Amino acid sequence: MVQLLREHGRLVRGGLIDSADQKWTFLIYFTEYGSALVACARFERRVERSPL
């Protein structure tokens, strides 16, 4: 993802999307005007519970 952003070399618009089951978060980057996807990444969400 970082390499693609560097190669693009222009302004981008970024955003986050959480999956419906809350297990994944997607980090997305579009061109400045939102006309094309430049790069994306998927991250697994881990929830740590506090001990009672």
Question: Do 1 and 39 touch, CB atoms closer than 8 A?
Answer: yes
Which residue has tokens 């790069």? Answer: 39
Q: Which residues pair with 13 in a beta bridge?
A: 30
Radius of gyration of the chain, Cα coordinates, nearest whole angstrom: 14
pLDDT attached to residue 4: 92
pLDDT attached to residue 16: 96
The structure's pTM equals 0.75
pLDDT attached to residue 46: 82
Residue with the bigger pLDDT between 49 and 19: it is 19
Closest CA to 12 of 38, 45, 44, 50: 38
Question: For residue range 17-47, what is the model confidence (pLDDT) as tens digits?
Answer: 999 998 999 999 999 999 999 999 999 988 7
